[in-house]
C-alpha cells in the first residue's frame, strides 16, 4: 500500500479530497454518503460532537471515581472481627502480607491507570481544542495507549466478585462486595466510553487547511 | 485533481490520510505513512486459523461455565464456586446492576463476539458465499472487542487467589483451566485476524 502522493510532505486526507472514509474498514466514499458500502457502518468525515462527548463521559468518570475510593470495596467478616477495606486499604493489606508484586498490580490497575487516563484524555481534548500542532505522533501514541489500557482497570471489580463468591463460610469467614465496587465499575465504563468518543483524526487535523 | 477509482483507495482510520491500496505479500504489514497505524497485514491461511481458534474458544467457554471453577477449604469448611457464582456474588440489593454487567463482560459478550466471528468468517474460510448479515455480525464483533473482558477476569482471579492463599486451601477446578486456555486462544485469534482482508473478502463475495 503506498500513499496517494509519493512524497510525505504532500499527503492528503480523505476529507481534503472531498471524500469520507469509513473508520471500520478503510473504504472511502464520495462525501455525503451516509452508510459504508463495504461494511454497512455509519460514515462521518469527522465526529463533530466528539469533544463534547469526551468531556461529558470524562467528567462522569471522575465523579464516580471519588465514591469508589472513599467507600469500602470489600466487607470482611470473620469470627473475631468485621472489617471494611477501600481500594487503597486493600493494597496496603497486600503489602503487609509481603505480596508486593500483587499489591503493585492492584495499585497500578485501580489507581495509577484511572488517574493517568483522566489526565491523558483531558490533555488530548485540550490540545485538540487549541489546535496544537506539536508532538502529534506522541499524542496519537498516547491515545492508542489510553484506548488499549483502560479496560484493565476492571481487575479489581473481578477480584471482588471472585472473593465474594469464594469466601462464603457462614460464621467463620465471609467476604461481601461493598458499594465502592459499583462506583468503580461505573467509573471505568464511563472513562472507556470517553476514550472511545475521541476521534483521533482531530489530532491530525491541526496542521490541515480548513476544508468544509 | 484526479483521483483513482474509490475502490483503489484506503483511508487511515486513525488520521484520515489517503493511500492507494495495493496487494501486499504474505507476512507483510502495511502502515500509514503519516501516523504509522497498521492498515493491513497479510498472513496465509489466517481466516481458517481464526475460525478454528474461535470455535475452540466457544466450546471452552461452555466448559468454563459448566464445571466448578474454584474450591475453598478452611479447616473442613468447604465452599465451591463456578464462574456463574462469581457473577451472582454481586446479586444482593444494590449490586444487581453490577452482577448483570459482570455477566455481560465475562460470559455473554465474549460468547456473542465469538459467535459473530464464526458466523461471519466461517463461509469465507470455506470459500463459499457469506451468510446474510455477515457484515453486520463482523461489525458487531468489532464493536464488542473492548467490552469482552475474559482475559482481565483471569488476572483478577490470579490476584484473588493470592489474597486467599494464606487464609485457606484453594483447589483449582477444570473450569479454571478451560477459562485460562480460552483467554490465550482468544488473544491469539485476535492477533491473527486482519480486519481489512475480512471486510474486503466479505464485500467481494457479496458482489459476485
The pLDDT value recorded for residue A18 is 84
Q: What pTM did the predictor assign?
A: 0.86
Q: Do A26 and B12 touch (CB under 8 A)?
A: yes
Confidence of residue B1 (pLDDT cuts 50, 70, 90): low
Residues A118-153 pLDDT 10s: 999 999 999 998 888 888 889 999 999 998 888 888
Interface A-B, measured as beta-carbon pairs within 8 A, has a size of 234
Domain residues of chain B, as ranges? 1-42, 45-207
CA B84 from centroid of its chain's CA atoms: 20
Distance CA B115, CA B55 (A): 8
| B31 has a pLDDT exceeding 90 | no
Burial class (CB in 10 A: 0-12, 13-18, 19+), B157: buried
DSSP A57-72: HHHHHHHHHHHHHHS-
CA B22 from centroid of its chain's CA atoms: 28
A-chain residue closest to B80, CA distance: A166
Residue A150 burial (CB count, 10 A): 25
A157–chain B Cβ distance below 8 A for any pair:
yes
The pLDDT value recorded for residue A65 is 94
**Model ipTM over 0.90:** no
Domain residues of chain A, as ranges? 1-45, 48-205
With beta carbons under 8 A apart, name residues in chain B contacting A15: 16
* Chain A from 123 to 142: CB within 8 A of any B CB: 136-137, 140
Amino acid at each position: 500500500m503506498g500513499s496517494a502522493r509519493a512524497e510525505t510532505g504532500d499527503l492528503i486526507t480523505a476529507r481534503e479530497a472531498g471524500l469520507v472514509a469509513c473508520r471500520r474498514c478503510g473504504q472511502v466514499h464520495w462525501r455525503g454518503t451516509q452508510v459504508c458500502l463495504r461494511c454497512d457502518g455509519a460514515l462521518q468525515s469527522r465526529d463533530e460532537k466528539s469533544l463534547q462527548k469526551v468531556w461529558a463521559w470524562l467528567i462522569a468518570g471522575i465523579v464516580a471515581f471519588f465514591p469508589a475510593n472513599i467507600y469500602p470495596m470489600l466487607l470482611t467478616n470473620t469470627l473475631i472481627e468485621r472489617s471494611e477495606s477501600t481500594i487503597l486499604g486493600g493494597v496496603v493489606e497486600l503489602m503487609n502480607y509481603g505480596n508486593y508484586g500483587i499489591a503493585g498490580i492492584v495499585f497500578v490497575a485501580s489507581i495509577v491507570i484511572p488517574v493517568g487516563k483522566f489526565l491523558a484524555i483531558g490533555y488530548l481534548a485540550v490540545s485538540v481544542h487549541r489546535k496544537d500542532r506539536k508532538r502529534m505522533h506522541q499524542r496519537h501514541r498516547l491515545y492508542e495507549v489510553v484506548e488499549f489500557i483502560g479496560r484493565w482497570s476492571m481487575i479489581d471489580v473481578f477480584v471482588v466478585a471472585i472473593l465474594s463468591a469464594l469466601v462464603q463460610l457462614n460464621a467463620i469467614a465471609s467476604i461481601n462486595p461493598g458499594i465502592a465496587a459499583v462506583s468503580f465499575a461505573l467509573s471505568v465504563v464511563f472513562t472507556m466510553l470517553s476514550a472511545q468518543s475521541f476521534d483521533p483524526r482531530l489530532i491530525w487535523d491541526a496542521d490541515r487547511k480548513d476544508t468544509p | 485533481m484526479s483521483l483513482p477509482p474509490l475502490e483503489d483507495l484506503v483511508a487511515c482510520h486513525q488520521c484520515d490520510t489517503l493511500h492507494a491500496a495495493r496487494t501486499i505479500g504474505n507476512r507483510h504489514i502495511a502502515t500509514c505513512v503519516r501516523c504509522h497505524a497498521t492498515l493491513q497485514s497479510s498472513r496465509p491461511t489466517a481466516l481458517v486459523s481464526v475460525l478454528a481458534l474461535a470455535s475452540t474458544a466457544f466450546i471452552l467457554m461452555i466448559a468454563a461455565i459448566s464445571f466448578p471453577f474454584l474450591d475453598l477449604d478452611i479447616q473442613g469448611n468447604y465452599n465451591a464456586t463456578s464462574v456463574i457464582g462469581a457473577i451472582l456474588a454481586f446479586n444482593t440489593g444494590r449490586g444487581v446492576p453490577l452482577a448483570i454487567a459482570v455477566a455481560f463482560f465475562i460470559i455473554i459478550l465474549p460468547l456473542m463476539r465469538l459467535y459473530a466471528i464464526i458466523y461471519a468468517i466461517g463461509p469465507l474460510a470455506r470459500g463459499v458465499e457469506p451468510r446474510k448479515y455477515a457484515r453486520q455480525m463482523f461489525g458487531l464483533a468489532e464493536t464488542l472487542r473492548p467490552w469482552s473482558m475474559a482475559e482481565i477476569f483471569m488476572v483478577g482471579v490470579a490476584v484473588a487467589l493470592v489474597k486467599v492463599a494464606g487464609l485457606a486451601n484453594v483447589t483449582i477446578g477444570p473450569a479454571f483451566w478451560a477459562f485460562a486456555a480460552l483467554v490465550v486462544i482468544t488473544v491469539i485469534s485476535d492477533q491473527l485476524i486482519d480486519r481489512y482482508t475480512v471486510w474486503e473478502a466479505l464485500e467481494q463475495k457479496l458482489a459476485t
